[in-house]
Amino acid sequence: MKFKKFGKALLLSALSAVSVLGITSCIRSYSVGYLFVVGTTTAESTGNGIISGFKIDHNTGKLNPIAGLPVSSGGVNPGRSILLPGGRFVYVLNRGKNAEGTADCTTIADPCVGANITQFAVGGNGILTPQETFYTQGINPFRMINDSSGNYIYVLDHDSPSGAACSLVLGTGVNSCGDITAFAVNQTTGRLTLVVNAQATSAGGQALSYFPVPANPVDFLLVSSYILTMSGTPTTGDSVFPYNWAQVGGQLTLNQNSSQPLNILNGTALVTGSGGGANVVYVLDNDPITYIPTGQSAEVTAPSQILPFTVGTNGALQAETGGRIPDDPTLSNPIFALTVSVSKGSVLYVANQGNNTDPNNAQSGIAGYIINTPFQLTEQAGSPFGSGAGPQCMVEDPSNQYIYTANFNDSTVTGRSIDQNDGYLNPLPSSANKSYPLNGPATWCMVTGRTG
């Protein structure tokens, strides 16, 4: 049967409409995940803590504020925060404030009070609802991490509550130290339960409720079956102290009570990476390094450096071929690193905080490195890439298209698009802002792909 002319026109019109609708539906905008940012309400260190939130647009990387946020973080001067795997629970470490009302939480003589861990449930549309409050066993908590399963959370306290315990665990004559407080996570409720030290007891015969680490801790990291803590000062130098970590039970046990010197003075962070093998650790250091760039004869001094290691027997760090890698000479104070996979391999992005006291300091930014084999980093052409002033953290969105930093000095979140071929960081499309304002300075950020 043949169609009449009118019928043919009507059919073609209908098919055209279906085609247009089909194409439109393929490119429709939707949220690929949520970005949460922890910070304070003002630039003052006494400011109350808040959590801001954004929906990440899949097509452009644009950040749209989540209705109902920000909310209180449950305390003052929040530092680190955790969003557990599965995206159901958020935990914020509120550091409190000292007698002068500041966040200088580094001494026993003038400790910060009011520190806590506040738990939040993540609901529909990214709404955060406070649940319970928990407390560490030490003094001046400032770092928090979790294992990959989300079964355990660990908090690094700058100061142990007992000098006697320091000597008991770390050796005779050690009268001051930091500690790690360990918690088991109830997967149904998110409630935290203390994991006591099964290896050490107090003078009274009671099991310690924490795990001592050397004095002046800077950062810590869970990698493979070890928790590594970096400690030190610009006068004594930095070192790493290992604990064995039990995947079942979350227990920490000593395999040795001595630290491994790193031969640096201003270590800022321990981060995991990839490239050339498993169990890679990058130590970020704010000491200057003098080097001769490839193909040049004149020396150049970079204000910071990156040290690659593998994790060996008993948690010992083994330096890799290529040695110390200079940070970009225009940047300083590296505080976070993130490894991303692209078509041509892997890229390491290093966020540099710069001078935290100057909101216009040009030494803030992201240095990008191609990860060669084994463990040799080559800075990308076009690096460094811009960020806000004083980035505190860096995350990759769940669709692996965008990088965001949350920034302390200018109270913003900034984003860039990842070139999926070579990892070059481009500005976000014109339909998305480059910078998103926050109510106050940012201290940490988290991302989840759970949007239901």
Q: What is the model's pLDDT at position 278? A: 55
Q: Single out the residue of 158, 144, 268, 151 nearest to residue 212, CA to CA.
A: 158
Confidence category of residue 44, pLDDT binned at 50, 70, 90:
low
The helix/strand/coil state of 165 is helix
Q: Give me the residues paired with residue 271 across strands.
A: 282
Domain ranges of the chain: 136-264
| C-alpha torsion sign, points 57, 436, 402, 154 | negative
Buried b (16+ CB within 10 A) or exposed e, 366-404: bbbbbbeeebbbebbeebbbebbbbbbbbbbbbeebbbb
Q: What is the model's pLDDT at position 103? A: 85
| C-alpha torsion sign, points 368, 373, 375, 376 | negative
Which of 11-15, 69-73, 94-98, 370-374 is predicted with the least confidence, judged by mean pLDDT?
A: 11-15
| Averaged pLDDT for residues 84-97 | 96
Confidence category of residue 451, pLDDT binned at 50, 70, 90:
confident
The pLDDT tens digits of the residues spanning 128-151 come to 999 999 999 999 999 999 999 999
Q: What is the model's pLDDT at position 320? A: 82
Query: pTM of the full predicted structure?
Result: 0.91
Rounded to the nearest integer, the mean pLDDT of the chain is 89
